[in-house]
Structure 1
């Protein structure tokens, strides 16, 4: 018998007025797998992630975690399920009013009810995993570089050792060298945890470094999915156009002409 997917989306539809964003989206992520969903702006990547997190509700379809349909779950039940998860936001989304360690430990204290001293010890351990020393623990986030802030965000995402981690454009705003550092940290940290990861990105180099599989989203549907190692040899016209950044091809850009 096939193993139950860790995350599964079945025929998920989401619209805003007459604008269809997700169009019978189907996606499956195995336990311990790293899936990167790529696609241009406006293809539905962020809306998909918000639907999984319960920030948006689809009009139809099912979203399952460990085989349980959470699409219409109560707030309490969804909160219980989401305790299995961690997230690295696009711009880290750190709290300016909190110190570095308080940011990392935020979920431990607020969601898991951990005492501050124990939470601080864990926060310092997680900061070490992303290459940040204990001397930074009591600093304010505004004192850190963008790359360091992203690493603090990653430490927060893994602080509770979640089963599932979501990454929202993890290399946005970073130079190529720091982007590579973040990619390596994501890969190492998630493999050490054995976590299932879902990343949304438009960065092809980043996607190939952190993904086991890649799925290409276009107009709210998956038009190709396969191993990351196959992305340059699959011959799919959608993939070929996206990878090479060609204007001509099956992917049509919504550009207003003068």
Structure 2
């Protein structure tokens, strides 16, 4: 049945850099409309996973299917068309300093979809309103915004084209706890409003539990645990427990010393 097809399906994904394996046969399915947060130590391949799905990095082996279509084997132009349904909130917001805020939000609409600037500007204003920013903010430059406001603008840009898939890369990094909670709430609200499928990367477990339906832990290039967000602090998996409780001693440390 069509409803049984995962929105994103990954099988046997492998990627190495300079002979060093990063992703080692990773398997992952995500149903439409679900939100998954991927956690794990730095250098375990979390960002590489997202970049492979985006088409920024070409995997060495494996299958990445969106709506049942393996995008790895598509031509560059067809892959680009498939990945247009992905909206991305980059770590650090990654706004263009030379553009006004509304132009940042509307960047994909203007330069990717060739929409008229007047139409794109109105969409940008509407998206800014959805993340709690007034129309006049659209006329400012990114340098005039606080870190929290920049994250809101980045979220508005991510949702501007009404994507069916959303990626969030460390969305609350550098924010104070209150501002981070506001961003988490906006991410949850906007993802649900779009009915989008979401994959997020974060080291912030408070954020992870708030925005995720499920959490998966990536270690040595493979998913070692996956389950409901409500169970993350009590998984019974010694590697996951060590990570979420921030313990120096444990199986992850021992594995690293033997490597």
Would you call these one fold, judging by a TM-score over 0.5?
A: yes
User: Equivalent residue for 1:16?
Assistant: 17
What RMSD, in angstroms, separates the aligned Cα atoms of the two structures? 1.4
Q: What are the superposed Cα offsets for residues 150-188 of structure 1, whole Å, 9 maximum, x if unpaired?
A: 100000000011000110010111111111110000000
Flag structure 2 segments of 5+ consecutive residues without an equivalent.
none
Q: Which residue in the other structure is 1:184 paired with? A: 185
CA distance in structure 2 between the aligned counterparts of 1:61 and 1:78, rounded to whole angstroms: 15
CA apart distance, 1:232: 2.1
**CA–CA distance in structure 2, aligned partners of residues 247 and 19 of structure 1:** 25
Deviation at 1:234, TM superposition (A): 2.2
Q: How does 1:100-139 map to 2 (within 5 A)?
A: 100-139=101-140
User: In the alignment, what sits opposite 1:70?
Assistant: 71
- Range that drifts further, 70-79 or 146-155: 70-79
Tell me how far apart the structure 2 counterparts of residues 24 and 45 of structure 1 sit (CA, whole Å): 14
Aligned partner of 1:174 in structure 2 is 175
Post-superposition CA distance 1:25-64 (Å, at most 9, x none): 0111110000000011011101111111111111111111
Task: Give the number of aligned pairs.
Answer: 256
2:249 equivalent in structure 1: 248
**CA deviation after TM superposition for structure 1 residue 203, in Å:** 1.1
The alignment's TM-score, normalised by the length of structure 2, stands at 0.96
Q: Which has the higher helix share?
A: 2
Deviations 1:53-85 (A, max 9, x none): 111111111111111001132111011011111
What secondary structure does 2:236 align onto?
A: coil
Q: Secondary structure at the match of 1:156?
A: helix
Q: What 5-or-longer segments of structure 1 have no aligned partner?
A: none
Between the aligned partners of 2:116 and 2:53, the Cα distance in structure 1 is 30
Taking structure 1 as the reference length, what is the TM-score of the superposition? 0.96
